[in-house]
Copies of this chain bind each other. A is one copy, B any other.
Amino acid sequence: MISNSIVYIVLAASILALAFAFIFYKQMMKQDEGTDLMKKIAAHVRKGAMAYLKQQYKVVIIVFIVLAAVFGVMAYFKLQNGIVWFAFLTGGFFSGLAGFFGMKTATYASARTANAARKSLNSGLKVAFRSGAVMGLVVVGLALLDVSVWFLVLRCTKLLELVGANADMVTITTTMLTFGMGASTQALFARVGGGIYTKAADVGADLVGKTEYNIPEDDPRNPATIADNVGDNVGDVAGMGADLYESYAGSILATMALGASAFATAATQAAGEQLQMKAVIAPMLIAAMGVLLSLIGIFLVRTKENAGMKQLLGALSRGTNTAAILIAVATFGIMYFLFGNPTNIEELKAIYGGDTDQQKFTEFYFNNMWWLTSLSVVVGLLAGVIIGKATEYYTSQSYKPTQKVAESSKTGPATVIISGLGLGMLSTAIPVVTVGVAIVLAYLCANGFDLNFEAASLQRGLYGIGIAAVGMLSTLGITLATDAYGPIADNAGGNAEMSGLEPEVRKRTDALDALGNTTAATGKGFAIGSAALTALALLASYVEEIKIALHRVAMVAADGSAEITKGVRWTVEQIQDANLISFMDAYNVNLMNPIVLVGIFIGAMMAFVFCGMTMNAVGRAAQKMVEEVRRQFSTIKGILEGKAEPDYERCVAISTKGAQREMLVPSILAILVPILTGVILGVPGVLGLLIGGLSTGFVLAVFMANSGGAWDNAKKYVEEGNFGGKGSDNHKATVVGDTVGDPFKDTSGPSLNILIKLMSMVSIVMAGLTATVHLL
């Protein structure tokens, strides 16, 4: 018998993850931080990063208080249940905590990595990677902690009464889903604010330092160089962590909700209730197993002394690939444990009823669902791998596309930009087709290749899409480690440069850094792909939430019914009996409804406008940085000769202030537009908005990430001595490309991941309002 107790396994896995994170952290802290200068520089960066985070949390806390108050008011008017406001806060708190720990570790690790690299490449890699693993493990640990504890609390305590009088599994899981909005909101500010911070500093530092004064990257004479290094931590560690925390938690929560509703019919009887419970627990168990396998993978990452780039990449790949292969195998085991050898086939046949054919299909389905659903997980895993490889192909200088961008520098910066944009646009094909095929395959596997579009079949298929997302993200513990490793290595390089370490050490940190660029690119592809699948799973949950909201409305209404659309009212019973398809019909959510189409248009527009805002934000903040750096160069005597110290703090303050100011408007827009769309256009408009934002946002995000990555590496390719090498006109042309690419790949592109998930989350939380108030 499956019971709540199995969830303690999940809890245990989360504590395991946190424990190892703590061990890795302690191990890292034991390392020597190097020379006094190294320590001083690291302290500068750490101070700047913490100052920024503190500032950001101040703003975020205000937003959280306001939103929690809104949810409180909604609960008072029965537009939302009484637990969401508090759960929202826990989601935000845990996500913020993960960012805080991850960044703290990263800022302590950079000097230590540089110092370890003085010994050997392997030591450097180990310190950097294990410190990255702290981030990965904290994220999965805290996310699983939040999910499992809430599940246990709601199942075992009186708190459930706050959710609703007769709260069944569907209501519990859908309510839990709304907790995700806390993580989303936190992630939004982390990604947008962090992204603006890091690129304002980077662009500002490059424009004056590299272009006007011809001094190298990370040169201590450049006043913006500390801010630049702070930015890597703020944007690439804390921002990326919050982003993936949200995807991870979101995919698990959404799949639990989808599982609950997919087997809600069966759950009306005892035998089926077990089935439903298993479907809800499955994503948690897969994630828990993923934690274990990620740990194994992390321990596998080591390399020989004097390893080349290839060996380094091999070392990381060994870890991630082993974890991925093992989780694929383990999934079949978990699913067999849960769904293998069903004993209640006859009961289920009775529940699902129908003619002989249907009876036969029911028997076939429940006898085989353990491996069918496992296949969906494998589909998700494979999709993640393919997207990662495609990203690598389009953005690494080892391949043709990026080399061609580098070659186009022969005719100046304009052609570098044109070819980089062209590359990015073309590069959307493989990820989109991959996700498309993955959606169809995950859907068909999980519903037994049933092409009939009936409610039961549809919901099983959607559960498959959700669990594919869980599969893709299950080894996040290690994939995020390879991601967070990048900025640590980057900062280590910066520290080595600024501390004037020996060329040999610089070469080693450069090798570590170059590796980080590749993993960052694949990490970005992965973050986008998982965001797309998660958002897709959230779509179905939105309809589920609308159902619950209508139910709540109808329960308190005088006549016991709720308005669906103009002139159509459903009673409590009708609402209870309705399924996804009947809601689609009732709300006319089809492609001939102009309101749906307008929603899609607005969603597509939102992706562009959001990017435009963040692009301009970087431009404005960088402008201020440029002015400050120019001012320091011209007023502080001896700064260029290295005799006087630049005023680093001022640049840090400028980036901090700029990021804070600039992140507000796009963030608020992302929260307000779904609400307004709901109030004006109603449910069909919201669904259109979400789909439009998701599709366009996904493609736009891939385009921007890959264009940016290709420009970055095209510059590196020229610096490696091709097409004239460093200092040539061609090099200058590629620097222009790189600078344009900075906000592409590190601000606007990644922020889109959040946008598409957050808009879904906001819609889900606001479903009660949309279901009650809508103009059209």
Contact = CB atoms under 8 A, between A and B. Distances in A.
A725 to B, nearest CB: 20
A540 B590 CA distance: 12
Interface in A430-488: 432-433, 435-436, 439-440, 443, 451-453, 458, 461-462, 465
Contact of A618 (B418, B581, B687): B418
Contacts of A740: 414, 417-418, 421
B601 A432 contact: yes
Given A415-B623, A439-B601, 7 more contacts: A422-B616, A425-B611, A429-B609, A432-B604, A436-B598, A584-B592, A590-B591
Given A592-B458, A601-B695, A698-B604, A609 B426 contact: yes
Interface string A722-763: 000000000000011001100100000000000000000000
Nearest to A566: B451
A598 B465 CA distance: 12
A543 interface: yes
A603 to B, nearest CB: 8
- A-side interface mostly: helix
Interface in A597-630: 597-598, 600-605, 607-609, 611-613, 615-616, 618-619, 622-623, 626
Interface string A698-719: 1110010000000000000000
Given A417-B736, A591-B584, A612-B424, A440 B776 contact: yes
Given A411-B207, A543-B592, A609 B425 contact: yes
Q: Which of A408, A584, A590, A696 has the most CB of B within 10 A?
A: A590
A453 B596 CA distance: 12
A367 interface: no
A238 interface: no
A588 interface: yes
Given A418-B619, A605-B432, A612 B691 contact: no
A601 B265 CA distance: 31
A692 B693 CA distance: 11
Given A414-B207, A453-B588, A688-B591, A695 B462 contact: no
A594 B439 contact: yes
A691 B613 contact: no
A597 B694 CA distance: 10
5 contacts: A418-B740, A451-B776, A452-B567, A597-B695, A604-B696
Q: How many copies does the complex hold?
A: 2
A555 to B, nearest CB: 25
A272 interface: no
A619 B419 contact: yes
Contacts of A736: 412-414, 417, 736
Contact of A739 (B414, B421, B462, B543): B414
Contacts of A594: 439-440, 443, 461-462, 465
A422 B615 contact: yes
Contact of A619 (B422, B589, B616, B739): B422
A211 interface: yes
A38 B720 CA distance: 51
Q: Which 10 A-B pairs have the closest CB atoms?
A: A425-B612, A414-B739, A422-B615, A426-B612, A422-B616, A432-B605, A584-B590, A436-B598, A453-B588, A604-B695
A698 B408 CA distance: 29
Q: Which of A413, A439, A566, A688 has the most CB of B within 10 A?
A: A413
A171 interface: no
A592 B615 contact: no
Q: Which of A536, A567, A700 has the most CB of B within 10 A?
A: A700
A432 B692 CA distance: 12
Nearest to A204: B411
Interface string A660-700: 00000000000000000000000000011001100110111
Interface string A537-581: 001100100000000000000000000011100000000000011
Interface residues of A, number: 92
A49 interface: no
A218 B238 CA distance: 52
A566 B427 CA distance: 34
A393 to B, nearest CB: 15
A585 interface: yes
B414 A203 contact: yes
A601 B436 contact: yes
A97 B439 CA distance: 46
A709 to B, nearest CB: 15
Contact of A616 (B426, B461, B566, B615): B426
A590 B581 contact: yes
Q: Which of A435, A539, A598, A776 has the most CB of B within 10 A?
A: A598
Q: Which of A408, A435, A604, A691 has the most CB of B within 10 A?
A: A604
A423 interface: yes
A415 B619 contact: yes
Contacts of A619: 408, 415, 418-419, 422
Interface string A387-423: 0000000000000000000001001111101110111
Nearest to A207: B411
Interface in A185-215: 203, 207, 211
Nearest to A735: B414
A519 interface: no
A632 B409 CA distance: 21
B412 A211 contact: yes
Contacts of A433: 602, 605
A428 interface: yes
A408 B207 contact: no
A593 interface: yes
A427 B539 CA distance: 28
A692 B203 CA distance: 34
A595 interface: yes
A462 B594 CA distance: 8
